[in-house]
A and B are shown apart, each in its own frame.
Chain A
């Protein structure tokens, strides 16, 4: 194994100072396995321990082996490389990914499950795009709620992202949708799922519980008026 240390120093004109962004990294510390061409072949996933480092390098080696087989025409290996490229974040276009997957042969059950997990992630990013790209303050809630509406349908079909960050994005948008629609059961369910996953974010939940109380009060007032 070759040990490579890169330090972003923000020194003007320094060679490769912006390398992190070039390889698609956006945070520090960023730990990856690379092949001899400098392509990222595995990402650090989980704790930064010796076992974690070993697992990353093993995954990188597997990627290279699968790629070699794929280059020789092995269809299972082609699918495997495709899945791993999705995990590495190299395939960002949901429509193109879906088309490419439709043409794949000999996809195993396990591969199908892993592909679906990645497609859910791409779909979540796709649905959130209008909200993320929006620069108008007045539209923030409307766009977030619109994403939440789509996510609620995905949730009902069991299409839920597993990774921490997209999971949070997913149910936060459902919360906004439920708040806008004054849908108390959906709000409560999304809040419960978020609390189970992120027990430390109590400030966020305190604020959301106040929203829930307000929704319940408004509902009670509506009943009185009738």
Chain B
């Protein structure tokens, strides 16, 4: 009986953890969308895909100015 109860508690915990993870992922997506609304992105043509940036650099014989940032908080 005790073992069954433990298993039930564990399953409940896992389900809750899954919900938290799903919520976190939704939050991460919202954070990214918000970051993409930044003013500086509207002032110049920024490429957001790495492959596209490399192709553009190759085509125009130019270097890539790469800016790495994050949308999640620590």
* A88 in contact (CB, < 8 A): no
Contacts of A36 in B (CB 8 A): 54, 57-58, 61-64
> Judging by beta carbons under 8 Å apart, are A7 and B69 in contact?
yes
- Specify the chain B residue showing the minimal Cβ separation from A53: B65
- Specify the chain A residue showing the minimal Cβ separation from B21: A12
> Judging by beta carbons under 8 Å apart, are A2 and B28 in contact?
no
Given the interface pairs A3-B46, A4-B50, the reply to whether A9 lies near B32 with Cβ below 8 Å is: yes
- For B34-73 the 0/1 string (1 means CB < 8 A from A) is 0110000100111111100110111011111111111110
- For A29-65 the 0/1 string (1 means CB < 8 A from B) is 1111111111001000000000001001100110010
Interface residues of chain A: helix, strand, loop or mixed (majority): mixed
* A207 in contact (CB, < 8 A): no
Shortest beta-carbon distance from B40 to chain A in Å: 9
> Judging by beta carbons under 8 Å apart, are B68 and A28 in contact?
yes
Chain B interface size, as a band, is 20 to 34
Contacts of A33 in B (CB 8 A): 63-66
> Judging by beta carbons under 8 Å apart, are A4 and B72 in contact?
no
Shortest beta-carbon distance from B17 to chain A in Å: 14
Contacts of B12 in A (CB 8 A): none
Given the interface pairs A11-B28, A19-B50, A36-B54, the reply to whether A3 lies near B69 with Cβ below 8 Å is: no
> Judging by beta carbons under 8 Å apart, are A29 and B66 in contact?
no
* A221 in contact (CB, < 8 A): no
* B23 in contact (CB, < 8 A): no
> Judging by beta carbons under 8 Å apart, are A4 and B63 in contact?
no
Among the interface residues A7, A12, A29, A33, which one has the most CB atoms of the partner chain B within 10 A? A7
- Specify the chain B residue showing the minimal Cβ separation from A38: B54
> Judging by beta carbons under 8 Å apart, are B56 and A29 in contact?
no
> Judging by beta carbons under 8 Å apart, are B65 and A3 in contact?
yes
Contacts of B44 in A (CB 8 A): 3
Contacts of B25 in A (CB 8 A): 11-12
* A133 in contact (CB, < 8 A): no
> Judging by beta carbons under 8 Å apart, are B63 and A6 in contact?
no
* A1 in contact (CB, < 8 A): yes
The 7 closest A-B pairs by CB, nearest first: A4-B53, A36-B57, A30-B68, A36-B58, A34-B64, A9-B32, A8-B70
